[in-house]
Amino acid sequence: MKLKDLDDKWDLIIVGGGITGAGILREAARMDLRVLLVEQKDFAWGTSSRSSKLVHGGLRYLKEGRIKLTWASVQERERLLKEAPGLVETLAFLVPVYGDQSPGKWMLEAGLSIYDLLAREKQHKYYSEAEFCSLEPHITREGLIGGFRFLDAQVDDARLVQRVLNEAVGDGAFAINYTTLVEISRNRRGAVSGVTVQDTETHESRFLSTHAIINATGAWAEKLHPSPDPKRHIRPLRGGHLFFPFHVLPLEQAVSFAHPRDNRPMFALPWEGAILVGTTDVDHTTDLSIEPCISKQEVEYIMEGLHTLFPSLDISLNDCISSIAGVRPVLSEGKLEPSKETREHVVWENDGLVTVTGGKLTTFRRLAWDALKAIKPYLPMPKLYGESEPVFSPVPDKPYEKNGVSDQVWRRLYGRYGEGARELVEMSAPKDLESIPGTYTLWAELPFVARHEQVRHLSDLLLRRVRIGLLTSRGGEEYLGRIQKLCRPELGWKKKHWKEETDMYLRLWNHAHALPT
């Protein structure tokens, strides 16, 4: 997809290629609208590839009294588990209970019981100290009186964005990355009449006509549409995470625990063959256009929590594979501590420009529908439809010939690529249907996404289309030779271009994903 190939007129233009924008595109596409999404960097470049990888009901929101938010999140979690097996999967959480810690056993029991009630199924159980330690033998026993096990879900967040985009494009929508909205044009009455967009790197520009724009740019939202409430503005909050190899932190289930310093909830969870530990919650004060990175103070905070809970494992920063840091768009009056800010979303409307920001990864579909309902008066149709339809194409009961891949691998591939999984398997050599060491990713996924998913840079390929840049040592540097052989024919890069991309990728990885020096 290139800027020069786009049509001149659109019913709706969406700005922002994270999960919110992708969700809006998916819902609009099923209504036969001429709809386009533009993203100034890469799809899922921002928060939507740097989250905690959880599709969860927000258990901690119960403590804050946000029952409605928790209920909506639980409903969406259950829906995604049903619609996207292989992409959204159940994840068991263990919560140790210590005698001197808050919340205590009975408070947790009450919260988890409400959680189960919202899910309409009992999904938690309490274990004695001995039983709990048999489930997780590495945690400290000092002060331990027992613990709970409950269920939530996890996802590859960047693949969720891409799968939703692919579903939308399959229904006739258009999406283009590395394209910046430069200016919104309005007529004499002040209503939206079009946009000027520009290729972020070549600076080629186009004017596109439209009467409806949805701003889904997250932390950038106020650059297009200032908050109508002078007391509440976007507060960018950064969350940092660290990745460790499974052999260093051998967890079969996620563990949720309170940080010893401030009692904030933290977690360590298995993800894609590694262990993800997080998260922090601090104000992000640097330029939003620069790749966010974790600070030394955040690393120390995470390690303090790990050493307190898992003292016997002797976990060192030398064991850390990589780090990520994402910026959450939170609407705030700036008076609360970061971790106490609400994650609820807001919608603003101004003569054909609708802004939606805030919210959670889990509830992206509800954000999409709230935005579409707000923009409806500017769309060329009498009513919206499809709100009860599934986001994803149904999974076939029995896949066709799988060329020797296991049922589990097939489920994973179909979850990530939908119908494209068939082509991926059928066009791949047997040796490429093996996983990259230390990950669940198949070598065959690399050329497939290079061929089909608008990869412009090596960082798009290794940090978002697949995640081996986060899951292998030094961003997968030792595998770049094989990756080049697999992907050069699909990308059409000459040797000089590949060398430039490799150098740029490794510089970026050292800035944004290595530990701070």
What CATH number should be reported for the domain holding residue 225?
A: 3.50.50.60
Q: How many domains does the chain have?
A: 3
- Domain extent for 241: 70-154+233-333
Q: Is the pLDDT of residue 255 over 70?
A: yes
Residue 400 pLDDT: 60
Pair (452, 474) in one structural domain: yes
Residue 396 has pLDDT above 80, yes or no: no
Q: Is residue 199 over pLDDT 70?
A: yes
Q: Do 487 and 432 sit in the same domain of this protein?
A: yes
373 and 296 in a common domain: no
User: What's the mean per-residue pLDDT of the chain?
Assistant: 93
**3-17, 128-142, 375-389: range with lowest mean pLDDT:** 375-389
Residues with Cβ within 8 Å of residue 384, at least 6 apart in sequence = 31, 369, 372, 373, 376
Residue 276 lies in a domain: yes
Q: Assess whether pLDDT exceeds 80 at residue 112.
A: yes
Are 217 and 91 members of one domain?
no
In this structure, are 238 and 355 located in the same domain? Answer: no
Same domain, 317 and 357: no
What is the C-alpha to C-alpha distance for residues 272 and 87, in angstroms, rounded to an integer? 11
Q: Choose the most confident range, by mean pLDDT, from 224-233, 340-349, 375-384, 499-508.
A: 499-508
Q: How far apart are CA 355 and CA 250, in angstroms?
A: 43
Q: What's 131's DSSP letter?
A: H
* Contact status, residue 45 vs residue 386, Cβ threshold 8 Å: no
* pLDDT value at 358 more than 90: no
Q: Is 398's pLDDT higher than 60?
A: no
The reported pTM is 0.96
Mean pLDDT score, 122-134: 94
Q: Are residues 329 and 419 in the same domain?
A: no
DSSP string, 46-78: SGGGSS--EE---HHHHHTT-HHHHHHHHHHHH
Shared-domain flag, residues 239 and 253: yes
Instruction: Among 333, 366, 394, give the residue marking a domain's end.
Output: 333
- pLDDT at residue 119 tops 90: no
Q: Which amino acid is at 180?
A: T
Residue 320 lies in a domain: yes
- With a cut of 80, say whether residue 124 has pLDDT above it: yes
283 exposure class (CB count in 10 Å sphere: 0-12, 13-18, 19+): exposed
**pLDDT higher than threshold 60 for residue 155:** yes
Stretch 230-234: mean pLDDT, rounded?
A: 88
Is residue 122 one of the residues assigned to a domain? yes
Over range 302-323, report the average pLDDT. 96
In a domain, residue 281? The reply is: yes
For residues 38 and 114, membership in a common domain is answered with no
Over residues 457-468, the mean pLDDT reads 98
pLDDT digits (tens, 9 = 90+) for 414-443: 999 998 998 999 899 999 999 999 999 999
211 and 245 in a single domain? The answer is no
Torsion, Cα 302 304 306 308, to 10 degrees, reads -150
- Domain assignment present for residue 57? The answer is no
**Tens digit of each residue's pLDDT (9 = 90 or more) over 53-84:** 999 877 766 666 667 778 888 899 999 999 99
Same domain, 241 and 125: yes
The answer to whether 234 touches 357, Cβ cutoff 8 Å, is yes
Q: Which of 299, 333, 367 is the last residue of a domain?
A: 333
Instruction: In whole angstroms, give the CA distance from residue 246 to residue 273.
Output: 7
CA distance 173 to 282: 37
Residue 52 lies in a domain: no
Name the strands in the sheet holding 192-199, side by side, starting at the edge strand that comes first in the sequence: 179-186, 192-199, 205-209
CATH of the domain at 255: 3.30.9.10
The answer to the question of residue 294 being in a domain is yes
Residue 483 and residue 360 share a domain? no
User: Does any domain span residue 443?
Assistant: yes
Tens-digit pLDDT profile for residues 180-197: 999 999 999 999 999 999
Query: What is the total residue count of the chain?
Result: 517
User: 469: domain CATH number?
Assistant: 1.10.8.870
Instruction: Report how far apart, in Å, the C-alpha atoms of 78 and of each of 27, 118, 132, 282, 298 are.
Output: 19, 10, 27, 30, 32
